[in-house]
Amino acid sequence: MVRLVTLSNATNLTESVVAILDNCKSLNHLKQLQSSLITLGQSQAQFFVFRLIRFCTLRLSNLQYARLIFDHVNSPNVYLCSAIINAYASESHHVEVLTLYKNMVNNGRRRPNHFIYPSVLKSSSEVFDSYGTKMVHTQIFKTGFGSNPIVQTALVDCYTRFCSDVGTARQLFDEMCERNVVSWTAMISGYARLGEMGNAILLFDEMPERDVPSWNSIIAGCNQNGLFPEAIYYLRRMLGSFGLQLRPNEVTLACALSACGQTGMLQLGRETHGYIHRKGIGCDSYMLNALIDMYGKCGCLNEARRVFDSTLDKSLTSWNSMINCYALHGQSRNALDVFDEMMQTGNDVNVRPDEITFIGLLNACTHGGLVEKGYYYFGLMTEFYGIEPQIEHYGCVVDLLGRAGRFEEVMDIISKMKVKADEVIWGSLLNGCKIHGNAHLAEFAIKKLIEIDPNNGGYLSMLANLYVGLTKWDEVRGVRKMLKERDAQKIPGCSWIEVDCRIHQFRSADKTHPRTEEIYNILESLFDFINQGLLLDHVCDENINLTYRFC
């Protein structure tokens, strides 16, 4: 396949090697070229070795052979070191990255360049946590790369990602002489990652220019922090930026679908699906899972199932999404049927259920009151698949047994849990106590909730109401005094509704909506109908285009 002749002109040899590499299809082809270079006495030529290593890692994904080539170079230069270090970093072989970097620095003849430090920073942070970032940061200053924009951007990302130190990250960002769109995006993503969405939005609005990843960072940040209406708002702003010729990519659209599912914006979700179809955007497993999740959360289970059935290569995430869609809407039998189907067809492609699969199954059993089936899946998870139960699994089981009134078993499970019981556990127990009128255990659960969050007025109010029902008036006065002293506030619930392609957000006792007066007038008229004993099937007010239905 490979035939090189001895050429006096180095340029011709270089062009020949590059052309042959472009046509290489396998490792055997590469070895033939390598043999020819050895015959020509070019086995130690840094340029050729660099091209061979890059071909191994990028085209053949053969890191082992790339390392073999590297180890046989007598004195690799900084570019060869950079190529092999970055290759190991891309495969998450962090210890090997640090070993190569250490050997390079200890050699003393090769000084790291700015392409090496981002990989070393990431690997040292993965291995040594926050200490690793600070250690490499010191070395960066010693080697004079502290003002390099590429290195500074990597530092900003590491300080927020691994150290949760947004203050140092912002200081580095402010000190940058050259801020490009990548460094702005890194700082915005850092704020979003740590939940400081106010600062992320302020910084985003200051950006002199934006690209698709920068828009994705603010949209994804809003999604991750529960600001779903804001995520939709920035998506629409992005789509309106025609002057920048911006077009959403797969990440943008997946974030948009997630926000639509969380807010129930079915129409926008359908439009996004249509956009994906019209633009011919590849519907890979990631995108299809986002569509299943969106339709499922919006209540369109038939549409979710249609997308699911059209997925030829179903991943574990696809199966989990469909199971959880059915579980969310109380269609327990369908959720369990999907699991059975997964076990029958999934064995051929090695799809093995994970902890998320069993969260969906346990939720389905809870909604369907399938206590014994829930016990079966919990045992299957722990004993057959060896999955260690997490707090979410315990919460499902406690909720399942609590709804069935099996409180002795609930307390037995809680006492044997390997993780500390949280608000979900005690809240699930409290819910079961309310259903079955177990006041004594309800009091115990509420007190546990207050221990976890002493300033939550909702828990204190529940305790006061419980004591009222038990006619424990001294305890009632004590709890109300506690409420007053702590100035505890009940966290209001929040809901969204889509009207004419706009999201309206409401909280309990919230009167900030511009049409509050009209809304309350409608509610009062509905209450009048109910108080008069009239059955109201369908009331529609054209002014606000809302439909109310009572059964």
Residues in the chain: 551
**When comparing pLDDT for 149 and 348, which is higher?**
149
Q: State the total domains in the chain.
A: 3
Q: Could you list the residue range(s) of the whole structural domain that residue 484 is in?
A: 394-510
Three-class SS state of 29: helix
Rg (CA), the chain: 30
List C-alpha distances in Å: 126 to 121, 132, 259, 294.
Answer: 9, 8, 31, 33
| Residue 532, pLDDT above cutoff 50 | yes
Q: Name the pTM for this structure.
A: 0.74
Indicate if 337 and 369 belong to the same structural domain.
Answer: yes
- Which of 372, 388, 404 is the last residue in one of the domains? 388
- Which of 335, 361, 388 is the last residue in one of the domains? 388
Indicate if 350 and 419 belong to the same structural domain.
Answer: no
- CB-side exposure of 247: number of CA atoms within 13 Å? 6
Q: What's the pLDDT tens digit per position in 432-450?
A: 888 887 878 888 888 888 8
Amino acid 340 reads D
Does residue 109 fall inside a structural domain?
Answer: no
The burial of 506, by beta-carbon neighbours within 10 Å (0-12 exposed, 13-18 middle, 19 or more buried), is given as middle
Q: What's the pLDDT tens digit per position in 79-94?
A: 999 999 999 999 999 9
What is the average pLDDT value for the chain, to the nearest integer?
84
| Residue 349, pLDDT above cutoff 70 | no
Burial 312-332 (b: 16+ CB within 10 A, else e): eebbbbbbbbbbbbbbbbebb
| Residues contacting 13, CB < 8 A, separation 6+ | 4, 7, 40, 42
Does residue 213 fall inside a structural domain?
Answer: no
Q: Comparing 120-124, 198-202, 344-348, 473-477, which segment has the lowest mean pLDDT?
A: 344-348
| Residue 7, pLDDT above cutoff 50 | no
Write down the pLDDT at residue 536: 42
**When comparing pLDDT for 459 and 385, which is higher?**
385
Does residue 406 fall inside a structural domain?
Answer: yes
Q: What's the pLDDT tens digit per position in 160-206?
A: 999 999 999 999 999 998 899 999 999 999 999 999 999 999 999 99
Q: What's the pLDDT tens digit per position in 17-50?
A: 888 888 888 889 888 888 888 888 888 888 889 9
Write down the pLDDT at residue 218: 96
Indicate if 354 and 400 belong to the same structural domain.
Answer: no
**When comparing pLDDT for 23 and 220, which is higher?**
220
Written as six digits, the tokens of 260 are 């639509």
Does residue 133 fall inside a structural domain?
Answer: no
Written as six digits, the tokens of 459 are 């828990």
Q: Comparing 61-70, 394-403, 472-481, which segment has the lowest mean pLDDT?
A: 472-481
| Residue 370, pLDDT above cutoff 70 | yes
Q: What's the pLDDT tens digit per position in 125-141?
A: 999 888 889 999 998 98
| CATH number where 420 lies | 1.25.40.10
Write down the pLDDT at residue 275: 86
Write down the pLDDT at residue 263: 86
